[in-house]
Amino acid sequence: MDVDVGQFKNVPGGSNDYAVNLYNLGTIYDFKNGHQLWVNYGEGFDLPDPAKFYGKPGLSVDDNPLAGIKSRQVETGWRFSDSDWDAQAALYYIWSDKVITTDQATLTIDVKDQKSRDYGFESALTRHFQNGWELGGTLHAVRSEEENKNGGWSKRDARYASLSKLTAFVGWKDDSSSVRLQGNHAFTLKDDAVKQIDATHSVDAPNTIDGYTTFDLLGSHDTEFGTFSGGIQNLLDKQYSTVWGQRAKLFYSPTYGPDYLYDYQGRGRTYTLTWTMAY
């Protein structure tokens, strides 16, 4: 991987190369009765945003290589499928020895040598009925943590941590038509942040990302002239602040303005209609 950055004003340009070996391995066992088990191991590599990393005045690209972040993941899971049921469940664990931090005053980022981990549970379940009806949902429960000064684990900063999510749906379909009502819920997230009162005293001051629930209604119909699809997103016209909107307030307020400047609201009730034809 080659990264080239040209000179901009007082920041000298330069280039750096990255050679990283990534290993991925997986195996699956089929019981031949609808059940399957699998185990995977994977590695990933990512670079933080160069614009934010090199945003400090006079920082040379050649003399300050952009630190890469390597992560590792293990996962094990099970799935089952027959004419009545589709089910799947998996456990995963992701870890790394580096984290990204943000300078609140300059909004530049840095990569620190600090252990982090994410672990969670994913599942999906659908029940198919003989008359075309189906009922089901999905769940993703996740916890993001990083190593603290005492060598233990604390919840990751709410600006970076992943949210747990849940969906549930009921639907009906036949050979040419389908309709589906789906609920989507993002769980509230709270971190372990503390506020320093003085040199020896601090108090708990957790940052919070508030969860919300929305509903969508979707449908489609096949005709000899193509497929017509329609939907109503955010069926109940729920007013809520998006996850990014809430994180933006933590990043930018009050240094760069009051909260309301960054309170990005979710889209209200939205109607869609599409037509597709295969030829």
The CATH number of the domain covering residues in 22-276? 2.40.170.20
Report how far residue 203's alpha carbon sits from residue 206's, in angstroms, rounded to the nearest whole number.
9
pLDDT computed for residue 136 by the predictor = 98
- Contacts with 248 (C-beta within 8 Å, 6 or more apart), sequence order: 262, 264
Average pLDDT for 266-276? 97
Q: Cα dihedral sign for 189, 193, 194, 196?
A: negative
The DSSP-derived string for 187-204 is --EE---EEE-SSS-EEE
More confidently predicted of 210 and 197: 210
pLDDT band for position 8 (cuts 50, 70, 90): low
pLDDT computed for residue 51 by the predictor = 74
In this structure, what token pair is assigned to residue 84? 């009545």
pLDDT computed for residue 104 by the predictor = 75
- Contacts with 263 (C-beta within 8 Å, 6 or more apart), sequence order: 241, 245, 246, 249
Average pLDDT for 193-198? 76
Which of 8-22, 50-64, 247-261 ranks highest by mean pLDDT? 247-261
Q: Cα dihedral sign for 264, 154, 47, 16?
A: positive
The dihedrals phi and psi of 252, each to the nearest 5 degrees, come to -105, -25
pLDDT computed for residue 19 by the predictor = 81
Report how far residue 67's alpha carbon sits from residue 55's, in angstroms, rounded to the nearest whole number.
15
Q: First CA to last CA across the chain, in angstroms? A: 41
Question: Which residue, 188, 115, 121, is CA-closest to 154?
Answer: 115
Residue 279 pLDDT > 80, yes or no?
yes
pLDDT, tens digit (0-9, with 9 covering 90-100), for 129-155:
989 999 999 999 999 999 998 899 999
pLDDT, tens digit (0-9, with 9 covering 90-100), for 29-82:
999 999 999 999 999 998 888 777 777 666 777 777 778 889 999 999 999 999
